Structure 1
């Protein structure tokens, strides 16, 4: 074997080794690229799913917030209508014809157990019907148990019965306030069926 043959063999072996190495490198490169593509697709898919879930969560939160705001607005509107209903009732009480008003107060006073004492009215009622009211109540009680106070109260109507340390407040405002809690549901049901 000559040097040329040895050189040719070495070059041939080197070429073969180089071709095999290059082919292996190309295959490894392609495997790495394919694996990277699969990983990238998986990352993109996971990111898309995560974004979709986040978008759904955001949408759900926005819808819930809007529904809550809507319920608050509806509740506020209902409360306003109920308030107007009670204000309307107060106006009707305040504008009752005098004879009807006198009968109403008389009946309310005589319903009080052990009815006796001093009746306190607002200034308008004291001047307009005070004496008539005391007379009507005492006639129904068949005794002089009620007297009219010189004092007046700040109210739209109604009365305060004072008997020593006992005071019964039956002003329109107090009557409506005491009824408000128990009637609010009924009024709401009647108005918003």
Structure 2
């Protein structure tokens, strides 16, 4: 059984400038950052071309999938699409901690490349919409569904004297009748 997001590179390595086109969709688990994630059943589409170059195998691909999360302003559902182009170099026997991807044998396994690039595209602070108003900081009402009517906001002490005068004025006006 073939491994997901991988292909044989024997022919590519033997022939300079040889190319191979790939078009695959499959799922990966564990793609998340603080508040957003790609669900484990969400397919990731990978379409691209692999080319034999002097340094190894150059992979140019377009990655597409959907992400889901919780809006950081209102805690509602947030979602979006990842659509990113990548160009990565795979070197045979390269340092796994280096800046290029390594492969051993004759199989290019793109899972690590896909994982890295999808996670980099996930929003750290997802929003349900760019116009999200968030929650009232005092009572927690969702301001996207209307204006908050709470009276829990602290009063500015600099206006306290004026507020007192206003209440005294309204009481004396009521007694004048």
Would the TM-score normalized by the shorter structure come out above 0.5? no
Give the TM-score taking structure 2 as reference length. 0.22
Pair member with larger Rg: 1
Bigger helix fraction: 1
Give the TM-score taking structure 1 as reference length. 0.20
